[in-house]
Structure 1
Amino acid sequence: MARIAEDLFLLLLDNATAQPGLDSPRREHVLAAASLLDLALGCRVRPAVDGEAVPAGRGGEAVPAGRLLVLAAPGPVDPLDAPALALLQSRPLSPRTAIKKLSTDIQKRLTDHLVQTGQIRRTVQSSRLFSKTYAYPLTSRDRVGPARTAVMAALFDRTPPAPPTAAIITVLHAVDGLGALLSLNDRGWRWVHARAGEIAAGSWVDESPTGVPEVNLAVTAAAVRQALAQLT
C-alpha cells in the first residue's frame, strides 16, 4: 500500500470544499515526494553513498552521492508506486529531478486509485469548454480520522510518530505546508514549527523502535526534504 502518499492526499482534502489544500506546484511536489518515501519504507530505494556503483548489468559505473538507487526487495510493488520505481530503474536520479518528473501526474494517479478503492468520490465542481474542475468528497473518515489524530499527537503531545506520520510531517514542513492542515495562533505555530523541525530532522528514529525500513526511510527523507526545499 502506498500509505504515505494516500494518507497525505486524504489529509489535504478540505472538509468544506472537498478540494485538496496547498497550492500547485507545492501539492504535486509533496505528493511526488511521498511516493518516493513509500518506496523507501518498502526498502526499494535509498540515496547512493559516495563512490557507490550501479548494480551489475548496468556497467558498474559510479553513481553521484545522493542519487536515488533502486534496491532489490521481495514482494509485489503497489501500482501507485510502480511509476516511481520504473523511473528510478531507468537510471539513478537526484531526489529533485525525480520529484519534478513524478509531480506531473501524481495527483491524477492518486485520485483515480482512491476513487477506485472507494475512499473518495469524484464530482464535477465546474465545467468549461476545455477543462473541468473536480471535487473529491470523502466517502468516510475511517482512514483520514486516525491519520489526522496521529499527526496531531506527534506535533502537540510529542507522541513518537509512526513512520508514515513522520514522513507526512517531514514533506509538509519542507514546503511550509502544515498550514493546509492546521489553523493556529502565533504561539501555536512556534510550537508546531519547532516540533515539526525535530521530526523532519529525524528525531522520530530515536523516539521509536526502528529497524532497517525505518532507518532507510529516515535517510531517504533527509534527501527528499532538501530537494523539496530547493523546489519551493
Structure 2
Amino acid sequence: MAQIAEDLFLLLLDNASAQPALDGARRGHVLAAASLLDLALDCRVRPAVDGERAPAGRLVALDTEGPVDPVAAPALAMLQSRPLRPGTAIKKLGRHTEERLIAHLEQTGQIRRTVESTRRFGKTVSYPLTGRGRVGPARQALTSALFEGASPAPATAAVITVLHAVDGLGALLSLNDRGWRWVHARAGEIAGGSWVDESPSALPEVNLAVTAATVRQALAQLT
C-alpha cells in the first residue's frame, strides 16, 4: 500500500469542499515525492553514494522482490530505466500521480467522485471521503507529532517532511503566529530526520530518512 501518498492525499481532501487543498503545482510535487518515499520505505529506491555507477545523489532502483503498489509502480519503473535526480523524478511523476491516486482511492472505496454543474463555474469535481476510519488517525498522528512531541511513525514523518519542504502545512492547519513558529520548528526537526533517533529504527526507516533528505531538498528548489 502506498501509505504515505494515500495518507497525504486523504489529508488534503479532509475539508468542507472535499477538494484537495494546496495549489496544483505544489500538490503535484508533494504527491510525487510521497510516492518516491513509499518506495524508499519499501527499500526499493535510495540515493546513490560516492563510488557507485550512478552519480551521487541520484535516485536508484533497488532489486527487491514482491508486488509493487499500483500508485508507486510507475515511479519504480521510471527509476529502473535509469537513475534520476530527485527534482527530475518529482517533475516527471507530478504530472500523473494525483490521477493515479484518485483512481486507486475510488476503486478501493475510500473516496467517491461528485460532479456538480453551476452556471458560474461550470463543472466542479469534489471527492468526499467515504469514512474517517483512515484520515482521522492520520490527522491525529500528525498533530500529536507536531504539538505533543510524539515520535512520528515513518509515514507521518514523511507527510510532514514533504509538506514542510513546500511550506504546505497551512493546507492542513490553521494557527496564529505563535502556533506557526512552534510548528515550523518542530516540522523542521522531523524533516531533518530527528524521528529516526526518537524511536527504534530498522533498515526501512533509515532508508526512508536518507531518501527523504534528498527529496526534500529537491522539493524546496522546485517551489
Range of TM-score over shorter length: over 0.9
Which residue of 2 is the match for residue 96 of structure 1? 87
Return the alpha-carbon distance in structure 2 between the equivalents of residues 116 and 140 of structure 1: 14
Which residue of 2 is the match for residue 37 of structure 1? 37
Which residue of 2 is the match for residue 9 of structure 1? 9
Which residue of 2 is the match for residue 197 of structure 1? 188
Return the alpha-carbon distance in structure 2 between the equivalents of residues 103 and 127 of structure 1: 29
Instruction: Identify unmatched segments of 5+ residues in structure 1.
Output: 54-62
The DSSP-based 3-state class of the residue aligned with 2:182 is: helix
Matches within 5 A, 1:76-155: 76-126=67-117, 132-155=123-146
Return the alpha-carbon distance in structure 2 between the equivalents of residues 154 and 183 of structure 1: 16
Once the two structures are overlaid, the 10-residue window that deviates more, 176-185 or 65-74, is 65-74
Shift of 1:75: 1.4
Once the two structures are overlaid, the 10-residue window that deviates more, 73-82 or 92-101, is 73-82
Instruction: Identify unmatched segments of 5+ residues in structure 2.
Output: none
- 2:183 is equivalent to residue 181 of structure 1: no
**Structure 1 residues 126 and 92, CA, compared in 2 at 3 Å: closer, same or farther?**
farther
Please, what TM-score do these two structures have when normalized by structure 2? Answer: 0.97
Residues 161-200 of structure 1: per-residue CA shift (max 9 Å, x gap)? 0000000000000000000000000000000000000000
Residues 7-59 of structure 1: per-residue CA shift (max 9 Å, x gap)? 00000014210000000100010000000000000000000001202xxxxxx
Contact 2:14–2:135, Cα closer than 8 Å, also in 1: no
The DSSP-based 3-state class of the residue aligned with 2:125 is: strand
Residue identity (%): 77
Return the alpha-carbon distance in structure 2 between the equivalents of residues 202 and 73 of structure 1: 24
Contact 2:71–2:100, Cα closer than 8 Å, also in 1: yes
Aligned length: 221
**Structure 1 residues 231 and 126, CA, compared in 2 at 3 Å: closer, same or farther?**
farther
Shift of 1:127: 7.3
Residues 51-82 of structure 1: per-residue CA shift (max 9 Å, x gap)? 202xxxxxxxxx11100010111211111111
Runs of 4+ in 1 over 4 A off after TM superposition: none
